[in-house]
A and B are shown apart, each in its own frame.
Chain A
Amino acid sequence: MVNNIENRILENDKRAAARLITMLENKDPEGFRILKSVYAKGGNAYVIGITGPPGAGKSTLTDKLVKAYRKKGKRIAIVAVDPTSPFTGGAILGDRVRMNDLNTDKDVFIRSMGARGHLGGISEATSAAVKVLDIFGSDIIFIETVGVGQSEIDIVKNCDTTIMVMVPGLGDDIQAIKAGVMEIGDVFAVNKADRDGSARTAREIEMMLDFNKTLAWRPPVKMVVATENKGVDELVEAIEAHREHMLTSGAFTTRRIQNAKSEVVSLIKERIEQSILDNAHNEDKLSTFSKEIVSRALDPYTVVERLYEEIKDTIHIK
């Protein structure tokens, strides 16, 4: 057992922080009670999101960025999210493989999380884990998403600077102008820049960014070779420039308020969803209804209205 978590976490106790994250991941009410009691102590960490397609080099780049920030004496935490099997609920969390050197640095805390059914690129508990690691005393927290496709943009609601990691050869310039993940980068890193096509990839991203003339911050595009630590210092400079912009323009606070808003909305949604589902699963109503939908005795819209009517009064929705 790990006792007295609320005091120990303020004393930079790793075991307490690790256990609290587990409790929050498992939706243990005691975990939320503890987090509420220490929440006011947080707010000091700067949060950097790292996202990009699978195999783009997010973990390797995170490893190199963390080393660069460690040279500046910063205390670092990393939350690395990997996919959970939709069939068994199991997961292989392998981001630590690329971060082995960081493992014995006492000022680096790495936590791997399974996405556990959440589809936005991070897990439901990621934002809670970030709060814990902030209160625990980290200066900078990196969130590494699962490998993303085109629309997993939850990361942006959880961080102050988003780094979009791209690699050459993923598609033509029409990919770069689609909506979704390409719109959320504050800094773009073209990794594996020693490969053919990297200059073209960078150019296509630049052109995509140039379409939008109204941006207060024009995201820079940096070429890196993470495995060889090339271009990492320049990438750090670009991140620092964005951080400076966020802090001086007031965008930092605006974004955090926006993020708090969207967090509250999603927590409300989650709670309402849970009460609807708890009710629907009661006496296996949902299975019965579903069979009737398939046999055309009912339609899904009528089922939704019935289930909604049943719980409406208990949660006071207008």
Chain B
Amino acid sequence: MERPIRVLVAKPGLDGHDRGAKVIARALRDAGMEVIYTGLRQTAEQIVNAAIQEDVDCVALSILSGAHNTLLPKVVELLRGEGADDILVIGGGVIPGEDIPFLKEKGIKEIFTPGTPTQVTIDFIRGNVNR
């Protein structure tokens, strides 16, 4: 069945820089996806509640504050608690290379660092959503 992929684009934590999140949101829109954009300074709980209610295929988290090792695994953990671990979780932002293996081990499927062409992210989402 032809249907748009639904993606929640969220910014966990306290940094106020949403240009990257907006660029990604726009790129996913232009790729034919339905993007639910929630705005700045979201808690992991808010993100997970929104992901459940919106029945998204993917949660894309943009983070520039440095708190990624805490906040990103928290989102995965809470989704698991809701029985929603079939939702693909990806991350993007200023994330040091040495942190990426830890994040992947915690269930974040891919991390996109600055300079990644948006098409790479689009293709990854299309290839990895679970429905």
- Interfacial residues, chain A to chain B (CB-CB below 8 A): 1, 14-15, 18-19, 21-22, 25-28, 84-85, 88-94, 96-97, 100, 103-104, 109-112, 114
Choose among B29, B38, B54, B55 the residue that contacts A88 (Cβ–Cβ < 8 A): B29
Chain B residues with CB under 8 A of A110: 50, 53-54
Which residue numbers of B lie inside 8 Å of A, CB to CB?
Answer: 1, 3-4, 6, 25-26, 28-39, 42-43, 45-46, 49-50, 52-55, 82-84, 86
A15 and B82 contacting across the interface, CB-CB below 8 Å: yes
A26 cross-chain contacts in B, Cβ below 8 A:
1, 3
20 extra interface residue pairs, beta carbon distance < 8 Å, beyond A85-B30, A93-B34, A100-B39: A1-B86, A22-B6, A25-B3, A27-B1, A28-B1, A88-B30, A90-B4, A90-B31, A90-B35, A91-B35, A92-B26, A94-B36, A96-B36, A96-B37, A103-B50, A104-B46, A111-B53, A112-B54, A114-B4, A114-B34
Q: B111 to nearest A CB, angstroms? A: 23
> Which residue from chain B places its CB closest to the CB of A14 in the assembled complex?
B52
Contact assessment for A96 and B29 in the assembled complex, using a CB-CB cutoff below 8 Å:
no
- A126 shortest CB reach to chain B, Å: 14
A92 touches B35 (CB 8 A): yes
Complex alpha-carbon distance, A111 and B1, angstroms: 22
Residue pairs across A and B with CB atoms within 8 Å: the count is 87
Give Cα distance in the complex from A89 to B6, angstroms. 12
B55-A18 in contact (CB<8A): yes
Which 7 A-B pairs have CB atoms at the shortest separation, nearest pair first? A90-B29, A18-B55, A97-B39, A26-B3, A103-B46, A22-B55, A89-B32
Q: Please state if B29 and A92 are interface contacts (CB–CB under 8 Å).
A: yes
**Cβ-defined contact, B86 with A90, below 8 A:** no
* Cα(A93)–Cα(B6), bound, Å: 10
Q: Please name the residue on chain A nearest to B25 by beta carbon.
A: A92
Return the contact of B53 from the options A27, A90, A92, A109 (Cβ within 8 A). Answer: A109
Which residues from chain B contact A27 at a C-beta distance below 8 Å? 1
Chain A residues in 8 Å Cβ range of B33: 90
The reply to whether B1 and A100 contact each other, CB–CB distance below 8 Å, is: no
How many angstroms from the CA of A92 to the CA of B84 in the assembled complex? 23
From residue A31, how far is it (CB to closest CB) to chain B in Å?
11
B42 with A100: CB separation less than 8 A: yes
Note all chain A residues with C-beta closer than 8 A to B82.
15
A18 to B51, CA, bound (A): 10
Give min CB distance, A140 to chain B, whole Å. Answer: 16
Residues in B neighbouring A21, C-beta threshold 8 A: 55
13 A-B residue pairings within 8 Å (CB atoms): A1-B86, A14-B53, A15-B55, A19-B55, A91-B4, A91-B35, A92-B25, A93-B35, A96-B38, A96-B39, A96-B50, A100-B46, A103-B46
Interface centre among A25, A27, A85, A90, by most B CB within 10 Å? A90
| Nearest-neighbor residue (CB-CB) of A111 within chain B | B53
Chain B positions within 8 Å of A84 at CB level: 34
Task: Please give the distance in Å from A2's CB to the nearest CB on chain B.
Answer: 9
Report if A90-B52 is in contact (Cβ < 8 Å); known contacts: A100-B39, A100-B42. Answer: no
CB <8 Å contact, A15 and B83: yes
**B126 vs chain A, min Cβ distance (A):** 13
Asked if residues B45 and A104 are in contact (CB atoms below 8 Å), the reply is: yes
